[in-house]
Amino acid sequence: MPSDTYARIYGVVKRIPKGRVATYGQVAALARMPRHARLVGYALHALAAPGRVPWHRVVNARGQISGRSAGNGMDVVQRLRLESERVVFDARGTIVLARFQWWPKEPAGS
């Protein structure tokens, strides 16, 4: 059972609309845990059970896919899934956040 902390993070990630991306710090902020970007990354890593959480829509503040320790090539899968949702990467493998970053109208519910 994930702690409330994780549940909040997953809840925010689940709200990211298709074709948009969010940064770790942003997810953390929406989960009401500013500066806890690391926890978001840790939570997603611990998830390891996608299907209900679009973890591939979460990237770092540079708009790039972070390298994971698993080294299983999931980073490539993430990029392919994003491209399938019309998200475009530039030559350096960077997403144009100015165009694809998700900006919720409301701060994570009451």
Partner DNA sequence: CCACTGACGAGTG
Partner DNA sequence: GCACTCGCCAGTG
Which positions touch DNA (CB under 7 A)? 3, 5, 23-25, 33, 35-42, 44-47, 55, 58, 60-62, 66-70, 74, 78
Least distance to DNA from the beta carbon of 88, Å? 19
Minimum CB separation from DNA for residue 91, in Å?
14
Residues 8 and 6: their CA atoms lie apart, in Å, by 5
Closest to DNA by CB, 78 vs 102, is 78
User: Please, what is the minimum distance in Å from the beta carbon of residue 15 to DNA?
Assistant: 16
- CB-nearer residue toward DNA: 62 or 99: 62
Q: DSSP assignment of 72-93, as one string?
A: SSHHHHHHHHHHHTT--B-TTS
Residue the block writes with tokens 């845990």: 33
Give the closest residue to 109 by CA, choosing from 13, 16, 30, 49.
30
**Type of residue numbered 87:** V
Compute the least distance from the CB of residue 69 to DNA, in Å: 3
- Of residues 41 and 100, the one with the C-beta less far from DNA: 41
Sign of CA dihedral 1, 51, 77, 24: negative
